[in-house]
Each structure stands twice: as C-alpha cells, then as structure tokens.
Chains A and B, each alone.
Chain A
C-alpha cells in the first residue's frame, strides 16, 4: 500500500542553523509533492509545491528537493528562527487524482 514516512521524532536545532526535514514514500508515483506548516490547534498552511520534473524549489529561506529515484523529498529551512517552530507535513498527489496522501509530520523546535 502507499506509504509516506516522515521522521516522527521531534527535531531540535539551534537558532541560525539549517533545519532539514525528510519525506520518504513507497508504492507511489506522485506528480506533485507539497509541504505544509501546522501550528498547534490550527489548520495546515501551504508552503511549497514541487512537481515530479523539478529537482529543487526555493522560496525565501525555504528550499525543497524532490528525488523521484530515491522516492524522497528534503525540506530545508535556512537561518532558522524560533518562529519556525511548528509541525511540518508533506503531502503527495498523483497526476490523475485529487486524493492527497499526507505524512504524519515532523515537529521542529528551534532553540534560541
């Protein structure tokens, strides 16, 4: 069955460092991969989308890579700040469907 894995353990990093979060998937060929941020008690907020034919996407301090051979996406936050502390979710969807599959999320804590 289709499966998405994100590191379930919380990631603690020091302010100013680069945070790297991983999203691995199996038994799936996504056309699009997205990253969302979720704060406690709130709905997810869209951050970045990357297509299967794109290797890398950037937006301000955020960078996403997509390796369809490794079946993996990496999400980087450079010069991290305490305000970046949140849970980050990855989501996949195929080209012919709108049925999204979400990972369980990784909780990031940036220490001042």
Chain B
C-alpha cells in the first residue's frame, strides 16, 4: 500500500491564482482530513470528511473548498490564493468501522505552498 499520497510536493502561486491540492489514500479509509501547518505552529484542521459525499468545516475553512466524490480522493481547492495561505498542507485518513474509536490518523508527506 502506498498509504496517503499528496501532489504536488511544492508549488508557488501568485496572489489571486487558484489551484487544487490532490490527496489519495489506498487503505479504504472512510475518514479524511486536510490540515495546514505554519512554521512553529501546530496543525490546524481545514476540512474533514466522514465518507464519500459528506464534508464538514474544521477550524480554518475560509478560502478553501473540498469535495469527496470517492472514498479514495479528497482534493482541496484554493480559490484566489492569498499570502496568508502560504503553509504546508497535510492530508490524513483514518478508519472508523466500529463503535470503538481508534482514531489513528495516517498522514501524507505534505504539500509546501508559497503564495507571492
């Protein structure tokens, strides 16, 4: 299994441009998450999904959109990029199949985004 894969690894955007960060997992996990991590800071939850077709906002959703059309993919869309969105973005997934939560999140390698 490849686990959680993210593309691209690096990207530089100009202010006002748009882009989609891709995230794919091959573990058949029903839960997927997007986080951002600024230097010296913890992870901030942007959006999450509990299954295909279901998404919900996290702590910092403004300026982002997501969709979950399949179990495997959870792309993150940035519209009208701003310098404040310069960060490292991590995608994660977990499996919750029973009433007992295990909550182990598996993270991807991250996408380093710079907005100039």
Contacts and interface: CB of A to CB of B under 8 A. Distances in A.
Interface of A: 4, 6, 8, 31-32, 34, 36, 41-46, 49, 89, 91, 93, 98-105
B42 A46 contact: no
Interface residues of B, number: 26
Given A43-B110, A99-B45, A100-B43, 4 more contacts: A6-B42, A8-B40, A41-B110, A98-B33
A41 B112 CA distance: 9
Nearest to A45: B107
A49 B33 contact: no
Contacts, number: 57
A4 B43 CA distance: 11
B42 A102 contact: yes
Contact of A104 (B40, B50, B104, B106): B40
B63 to A, nearest CB: 18
B104 A98 contact: no
A4 B109 contact: no
Given A98-B31, A99-B59, A102-B42, A44 B50 contact: no
A41 B111 CA distance: 10
B8 to A, nearest CB: 15
A105 B41 CA distance: 8
A72 B90 CA distance: 26
B41 to A, nearest CB: 6
Interface in B26-76: 31, 33, 35, 40-45, 48, 50, 58-59
A71 to B, nearest CB: 17
Contacts of B92: 43
B42 A104 contact: yes
Nearest to A8: B40
Contacts of A44: 43, 90, 105, 107
Given A102-B42, A104-B41, A43 B103 contact: no
